[in-house]
Amino acid sequence: MKKLSIVVLISGRGSNLKAIIDVANPLVNISAVISNRPEAAGLIYADEAGISTEVLDHKDFATRLEFDSALQECVDKYDPQLVVLAGFMRILSQGFVRHYKGRLINIHPSLLPKFKGLDTHKRAIEAGEKEHGLSVHFVTEELDAGEVILQARVPILADDTEESLAARVLQQEHKIYPEAIQLFAESGFRPDRFLKPVRSDN
């Protein structure tokens, strides 16, 4: 059986990367992990799992477009069917996003289309929301606006802080991201064949 080849892009601790590695999905092959930060702790998880790693420090490039061009060249060496953003803290250029249209996914800590952008946990609490969660979605040229593949929901408790809510959402991220990649593998690598279940976890 042909495996889904993925490249994972990270910038930091790599907890979602670790969750994807730990599932050891027989339908998925992580071809490489690429970081824009040399000190990213997630590179250690990849090394321990015997996965190829690359570091492309964005500080070495004069412009965002130059970095994205080099990143695209680096990713394309591995010819992935799916590019997974797992805590990759860079806004990607339109050209990069178009190049991977339909095979570039991200995980965002809110129930999109609510709370696009930053500080989602704080904003959800301040807005008086009763539930919060996360969304795995396709990346498009508009920030956090791509089609949602999978979501998970958590209640917002009366005594929740930004930190406590973030911790519960992160637990669900570690479950949902591997599931979303599984859906992509089972679809025959075709985005238009997705089922789009929405799971509720209390």
The catalytic residues are: 108
Tens-digit pLDDT profile for residues 124-181? 999 999 999 999 999 999 999 999 999 999 999 999 999 999 999 999 999 999 999 9
CA angle 90, 28, 184 (to 5 degrees): 70
User: What's the CA gap between 80 and 151, in Å, rounded?
Assistant: 24
User: What's the CA gap between 170 and 85, in Å, rounded?
Assistant: 15
- C-alpha distance from residue 5 to each of 54, 80, 88, 163 (Å): 16, 5, 19, 34
pTM for this structure?
Answer: 0.92
Tens-digit pLDDT profile for residues 21-59? 999 999 999 999 999 999 999 999 999 999 999 999 999
User: What's the CA gap between 144 and 138, in Å, rounded?
Assistant: 8
Tens-digit pLDDT profile for residues 81-130? 999 999 999 999 999 999 999 999 999 999 999 999 999 999 999 999 99
List of domains in the chain: 1-100 (3.40.50.170), 109-134+149-202 (3.40.50.170)
Say if residue 189's pLDDT is above 70.
no
Give 1's pLDDT tier (boundaries 50, 70, 90).
low
